[in-house]
Chains A and B, each alone.
Chain A
Amino acid sequence: MTATVQYDEIEVGHEIPATDYGVRRLNLVMYAGASGDFNQIHWNERFAKAVGLPDVIAHGMYTMAQGGRFVTDWVGDPGAVVDFGVRFSSMVVVPDDDEGATITVSGVVEEKLPDKRVVVALTAKAGDARVLSKARAVVQLA
């Protein structure tokens, strides 16, 4: 496997620049189909509101996947992610318009581990809300 980030060149505190990921209703429909999660809160506004939500919300796993994408794009190899965990701390509300919502992900190298592994702490926001907390990925570097 070929991570493109060299362990020896990364120090604790290294910041990975923020990236924006859009999420529109179409993305949620595609994600529902691909993942098999057809919970109506992710595509049916009428149902979402009936169960007390402000509107349709993104699958937590869609948001987590954007965090994963952020890490794999940084490290250069999807196979380099050896551990990835998050808590879903706030909902991503996705309005039915052309803009949808934006998830902004940034990261910082929090710890260097043995065997050329590092811990990346992620921050993911939608507007002012932190949508992931305790988001950590252990990544195998080169």
Chain B
Amino acid sequence: MALNRDFVGRTYASKASYEVSRVKIREFAAAIGDGNPIYRDRDAAQAAGHPDVVAPPTFPIVFSLQSGGEALADPDLGLNLAMVVHGEQRFEYVRPIYAGDELVTSSTITDIRSAGRNELLTVRSDITTVDGEPVCTTYNTIVERGGAA
């Protein structure tokens, strides 16, 4: 089923902040098989010039889609989640994410388009601290296989 184009331009703000913890960073690093001590050990991170352990570059995927997820689950959008695969992903950093950061995300559906038999939907998520300091912007494009057929 074609996706509802009326959703383009809609913005969804996170309802609660996301508190980045050392435990979650360690868990994520373990899951991607990365033993880098800068993800696990505050002393190693500080020796490398960081205030605390650093989150891996792809870590924001853990929380950045929570606010946009509400949109993707909206029946009016017409997305069949069972047919969704990931199309593109980008992380643009102003600064690294550290344990102790308290972050909020504002997600905007920037584009919905057809490509062959598929439907493509792009979400931009602007991540800032609770004080409004910009930290990272992510761009996420999902593909609904067969959605345009």
Residue pair B90, A84 in contact (C-beta under 8 Å): yes
- Interface residue count on the B side (C-beta < 8 Å): 38
Name the residue of chain A whose CB is nearest to the CB of B27: A34
* Residues on A with beta carbons closer than 8 Å to the beta carbon of B83: 51
- B85 lies within 8 A of A60 (CB): yes
Other-chain contact of A86, B30, B90, B96, B145 (Cβ < 8 Å): B90
Contact pattern, A 43-69, Cβ under 8 Å of B = 1, otherwise 0: 000010001100001011110111011
Using A2-B49, A78-B38 as known contacts, say yes or no to A69 and B89 having CB atoms under 8 A apart.
Answer: no
Q: Which residues of B contact A51 (CB under 8 A)?
A: 82-83
Instruction: Give every chain A residue within 8 A of B34 (Cβ-Cβ).
Output: 65, 69, 72
Q: Which residues of B have CB within 8 Å of A33?
A: 27, 31
Q: Is the CB of B36 within 8 A of A87?
A: no
Q: A69-B34, A72-B56 are in contact. Are A64 and B89 (CB under 8 A)?
A: yes
**Inter-subunit contact B61/A61 (CB<8 Å):** yes
- Which residue of A is nearest B38, CB measured? A78
Interface secondary structure of B, over-half rule: mixed
Q: Does B43 reach chain A (CB closer than 8 Å)?
A: no
Interface residues on chain A, size class: 35 or more
Residue B58, interface by CB 8 Å = yes
Q: Are A78 and B96 in contact (CB under 8 A)?
A: yes
Do A84 and B58 contact each other (CB < 8 Å), given the known contacts A51-B83, A52-B145, A78-B96?
yes
B85 touches A35 (CB 8 A): no
Question: Interface readout for A76-94 with B: 1 if CB under 8 Å, 0 if not?
Answer: 0111011111111001000
Q: Which residues of A sit under 8 angstroms from B85, Cβ to Cβ?
A: 41, 57, 60, 88, 91
A40 CA to B145 CA in the complex, in Å?
Answer: 15
Q: A37–B145 Cα gap in the complex (Å)?
A: 18
B32 to A84, Cβ gap below 8 A?
Answer: no
Q: Spell out A's residues near B (CB within 8 Å).
A: 1-2, 21-22, 27, 30-31, 33-37, 39-41, 47, 51-52, 57, 59-62, 64-66, 68-69, 71-73, 77-79, 81-88, 91, 134, 137
5 smallest beta-carbon distances between A and B, as pairs: A85-B90, A60-B86, A34-B31, A79-B96, A65-B32
List the interface of chain B (C-beta within 8 A of A): 24, 27-28, 30-34, 36, 38-39, 48-50, 54-58, 61-62, 81-93, 95-96, 139, 145
